Amino acid sequence: MKADVFVNLCVQDVKRSRDFFEKLGFEIKEEYSDDTGYCLSINERAYAMMLGLEKYMLFSKNTVVDSFKHTESIFSLDLKTPEKVDEILEKVKKLGGSEIGKASDDEYMYYRSFRDLDGHHFEVFAMKKQD
């Protein structure tokens, strides 16, 4: 089975979060966006619904975790080259996000991790070609 993927994330300030990801170069799907949340297009089949608390709670009755203190999940994005990984991390830091740890370079991939403005944990990486 193949299906489009929509991940829902709670954000404190919809506009601030949207500005952050737009400045990183992500596309927004306007048809799924309004003042209460927006749809972050990761690729043609994967999306993140970035929802303000009130809207988010329509989909979940569980307590929202503090993403700065707890890891709800790690969102990993293959950027294809180490240069793009470094480029996005520099943008993240300039825009108020924070890097987690240091760059890692092992036999399989080069990767770096960051938290967005709401503390969501992202990993950006470039896989190495295996012989």
pLDDT digit string, tens, across residues 37-60: 999 999 999 999 999 999 999 999
* E strand residue ranges, 16-131: 27-34, 37-43, 46-52, 74-78, 98-105, 109-115, 121-127
| Distance in Å from the first CA to the final CA of the chain | 30
Instruction: Name the pTM for this structure.
Output: 0.90
Write the CATH number of the domain with boundaries 73-131: 3.10.180.10
User: Could you state, in order of their start, the residue ranges of all structural domains in the chain?
Assistant: 1-60, 73-131
- Which listed CATH number (1.10.3720.10, 3.30.1360.120, 3.10.180.10, 1.25.40.340) goes with 1-60? 3.10.180.10
With bands split at pLDDT 50, 70 and 90, how would you rate the model's confidence at 87? very high
Question: Are domains 1-60 and 73-131 of this chain identical in fold?
Answer: yes
SS percent in the chain: helix, strand, coil, step 5: 20, 45, 35
DSSP class of residue 72 equals S
Q: CB–CB of 111/124 below 8 Å?
A: yes
